[in-house]
Chains A and B, each alone.
Chain A
Amino acid sequence: MKTDPAEVRHWTTGAGVGLKLCLSCHKVCAEQTTHCPRCDARVYQRRQNSITRSWALTLTAALLYIPANLLPMMTVSKFEEGQPQTIFSGVIELMNQGMVPIALLVFTASVVVPVLKLLGMVWLLICVRFPRATMHRQQMLYRMIVWIGRWSMLDIFIISLLVGLVQFGKLGTVTAGIGAYAFASVVVTTMLAAMQFDPRLLWDAAEIKKP
């Protein structure tokens, strides 16, 4: 990424030259066209309602993050009724059992990453609302959020696998808790929020800031 502040100021946006992009087939269209001449999809200058949706989804994710952490993710039963584990109690349990790296991994994937994602999204949305000059950093943040979002599903995958595989009756059973659904919703909603976010708005914001 070029981060030379001297060069940052010199760019041109599609909107600036009367062009807009079909998000469906990525054809560059004239500003006046409402429908893509190639794929006939509706063409907007910017993603419609991007900020609103992102906000809504981010807010949803943030709200769901509360139960996702407070409610038990899964219950592991060995011979006896097991104790439902929340994410954090699971991490502590792993720590207690001496599996620090795994605990760190789980902590990272389940706690750090979602929190960072949420915080990042909020940061980006705020940046759109209150334009700042650090457009490249925001861009980088956005890409990171998009890239890292898929890894948040690690927990869900593990739970899905365990629930599916570990069904040995009295010997051992793994059941998913309601926290898992909440957590999955968090991950999905944050990803959707990231997808709904139109990074070009950051350019626009930077454009506003520039003069």
Chain B
Amino acid sequence: MNQNTSAPEPARANIKKRGNLSPVWLLPVVALLIVVWLAWKSVSEAGIVIDVQFQNGRGIKQGKTEVMLNGIAVGKVTDIAMSDDLKSVNVTLEMDRRMSSSLTDKSRFWLVRPQVSVAGISGLDTLVSGNYIAFQPDDSGVKRRKFVALPSPPPLGEQEEGLSLTLRAKELSSIQNGSPVYYRRLKIGEVSSYNLSVDDQYVDVEIFIKPQFAHLVRRNTRFWNAGGVELSGSLTNLKVRTQSIVSIVQGGVSLYTPEWEQEFPEAYQGDVFPLYRDYDEAEAGIAVEIDFPLDVALGQEKTRILFHGKEVGLVRDTQLKDDYSGITANVIIRPDAVNLMVKGARFWLVKPSIGLRGVSGLETLLGGRYINMDVSNKDIRAAIPKRHFEGLASEPPASPSAPGLHLKLRAGSLAGISHGSPVLFRKMQVGSVQSHELTDDGVLIRILVNPAYQHLVNDSSRFWNVSGITLHGGLQGFSIKAGTLNSMLAGGIAFDTPDRTSGKVKNGTDFILYDNSEKAHQFGQRITLIFATAEGLRVGTKIKYKGLVVGHLTDLKLDQQEGHIVADALLGENSGWVAHEGSRFWLVRPKLGLTNTANLETLVTGQYIEVLPGSGQETAAETRFTVEMAVPDDLPLSNGLRLQLVSSQLGSIRRGNPIYYREIPVGTVTGYRLADPASQVLIFINIEERYKSLVTRKSRFWNASGIEVKFGLFSGAQIRTESLEALLAGGISFATPEPGEPVAPGYRFTMAEEPESQWLRWAPAISISQ
């Protein structure tokens, strides 16, 4: 070393000088820095070695199995060894140094391995990457280095922050660990554990709600068991309720917060809620009792209660009353229908019935019976709460609250009308019969006119029964009256409204229900006619004036005391004036005789009643008249000159015989009767108006009937007759000697048996009044 040769000496000196400055030494310095840095880093980041005791070491590989926290490896298995007692596996883990503060006695380890179950597949990533050890840090505990791994993943709630609640159920059902908790079928949490309650009476199910959904749980939130498939209802109303495929198999819990209730504060951690058996039960509502008669078969549980088709409650159970007088149904009414449970609410059972008016309640055949309820708006407003009701066996009339026009019809009899019979307007159904009940004087029928048609009813409306078929028959024709087929079978009520502008009616207005359309439209004046006999009479016999029908008989009955027939007649609307004081009625019937055949048409058309209006004032209209059984003899024709002839014999004079003037008929015989005293015969004649001037006080009348045959020896046979008609039918002739003042009506002449010869020569120039 110190024996250096001379040659390298100066070079070495140079090297030394410059070697101190040699930049090449930077390299080892840098390398050293790197190494030092790496060393420091490795020391500073050196793992923390901990021991975790596992029950079994399946799937744990030394040097390979990692400790994962939120998907990030934070450690690694460095060693596996059996425990001393060979019952567990001690796994040595090298944990990330950053985890040092989290390795406390509250931290937990568990092995994650793939799990395939109906509820889903979890830990699928471990299929590829191998099992890993999950680590749940907790800074709050006491630091330690030895741990015992959990046998299974900890409940969800303890892994994350969130809301942990306890549900108290009567039975566990299909709920198991990990069963989902649904809100609107969205999984918002899961069942973390379950256990018997302290007193062993309940099952306490711990659930965990994810933090982002924690606000959904309020103090009034209801939980129900949504597991499996819930089948309820009946064939038409089959409810299959399930939350998800998972919940079918794995069970589940659903929750909802009633919206109608006021806002409740959010639930606190650890709150206890009841867990209802199913959705229906969860909707715990107002308990109501309804008493039904014994013969009402309420059917199965869960009979629904409908209010205008909307379900408002369920029958929870039924039981016999203590005195066996009925059945009490315990009903749970939905909270939102609580306002309907007031005084006045009615409940009745709807069951299927098949009748002439169709099949009703058919849905109950399949869907099971249900209880209908109704309550009027008035009662709702009155809001007198009630919790005990009397149920009805059958449907009551529509409540006054039902929309539409509620009317009362009074009738003598029900006449085929039944509940549900249609109410027809122009043969179109506009309503229906709601109920009928007996009253003191007949029947009270309640009908409901649909709201859309209630404007058709007003003060002037008239209702009549169109039940069945009305058959009117006679020689003049048949008339068959029927409503709709439905009304024929099931009865029905028709109405019409002649005057659309008439006043409106209110609910509950009384109307008369007429037996038929005719009666309903009898607007005119009612009179009473008295007949000696009802022969040939019937209801509907017409009353005519001058051949025009002015009314008809509406009823015939026997007056037992008087022994005559009392008939009710109705005069047409504008024909009331014919019935006045002095009006005369008589029966017109066919007359068949040798010379006097009259009213033959009545053979076919039936008899009728002729009326001759009196001259009385309208205000003094009479309503009771005696009907003459024949045309009155003294009946004047409507116009002309009424005269009376006095004769000793009637001869062949008949009513209707002509009065001749110069063999021209100018009038007729209107009647005859014995004079009083009966020594003479009074013949009533009527001279036509235009020939009135032909009759003066000096006029002479003679009987022109028959053939006058004078047979004399010298004069030979002399035959005189007025005319062939007069020969057959009889007649009266008259002659006037000179013009003169026309006689007053009622003037009485004497009728000669035969004319004097001079009478026949009279030919006065009487001008015929026009």
Contact = CB atoms under 8 A, between A and B. Distances in A.
B619 interface: no
Interface string B540-579: 0000000000000000000000000000000000000000
B28 A56 contact: yes
A157 interface: no
Nearest to B33: A63
B28 A53 contact: no
B19 interface: yes
Nearest to B18: A49
Contacts of B128: 79-80
Interface stretch (B4-12, B80-88, B340-348, B743-751): B4-12
Interface residues of A, number: 33
A63 to B, nearest CB: 4
Interface string B664-676: 0000000000000
Question: What's the interface size class on B, roughly?
Answer: 20 to 34
B31 A64 contact: yes
A129 B8 CA distance: 13
B73 to A, nearest CB: 8
Given A59-B27, A60-B30, A70-B38, 4 more contacts: A45-B7, A56-B24, A59-B31, A71-B38
A63 B31 contact: yes
27 contacts: A15-B8, A16-B7, A45-B11, A48-B14, A49-B22, A49-B24, A51-B15, A52-B19, A52-B25, A53-B24, A56-B24, A56-B25, A56-B27, A59-B27, A63-B28, A63-B32, A64-B31, A67-B34, A70-B42, A80-B129, A81-B129, A83-B64, A130-B1, A185-B31, A204-B5, A208-B4, A208-B5
A176 interface: no
B757 interface: no
Nearest to B39: A66
Given A64-B34, A79-B128, A57 B7 contact: no
A45 B8 contact: yes
A107 interface: no
A52 B11 contact: no
Given A46-B8, A52-B19, A208 B64 contact: no
A61 B35 CA distance: 11
Contacts of A155: none
Q: Which of A60, A61, A129 has its CB near the most chain B CB atoms (within 10 A)?
A: A60
A152 interface: no
B31 A49 contact: no
A185 to B, nearest CB: 8
Contact of B28 (A15, A60, A129, A204): A60
B24 A208 contact: no
Contact of A67 (B5, B27, B38): B38
B3 interface: yes
B28 A48 contact: no
Interface in A33-76: 44-46, 48-49, 51-53, 56-57, 59-61, 63-64, 66-67, 70-71
A66 B128 CA distance: 33
Q: Which of B5, B31, B64 has its CB near the most chain A CB atoms (within 10 A)?
A: B31
Nearest to A44: B11
A189 interface: yes
Contacts of B32: 63
A67 B1 CA distance: 35
Contacts of A208: 3-5
A61 to B, nearest CB: 8
B113 to A, nearest CB: 15
A9 to B, nearest CB: 16
A153 B338 CA distance: 89
Interface string A116-143: 0000000000000110000000000000
B405 to A, nearest CB: 77
Contacts of A15: 7-8
Given A64-B35, A67-B35, A189 B24 contact: no
Q: Which of A15, A56, A79 has its CB near the most chain B CB atoms (within 10 A)?
A: A56
Contacts of B3: 208
Contacts of A63: 28, 31-32, 34-35
B7 A60 contact: no
A66 B24 contact: no
Interface string B33-52: 01100110010000000000
Nearest to B27: A60
B22 A53 contact: yes
Nearest to B30: A60
Please provide the 4 A-B residue pairs with the shortest distance between their CB atoms, ordered closest to farther.
Answer: A63-B31, A59-B28, A60-B27, A60-B31
Given A45-B7, A49-B15, A66 B35 contact: yes
Contacts of A51: 15
Contacts of B42: 70
Nearest to A196: B24
Interface string A181-211: 0100100010000000000000010011000
Nearest to A48: B15
Contacts of A64: 31, 34-35
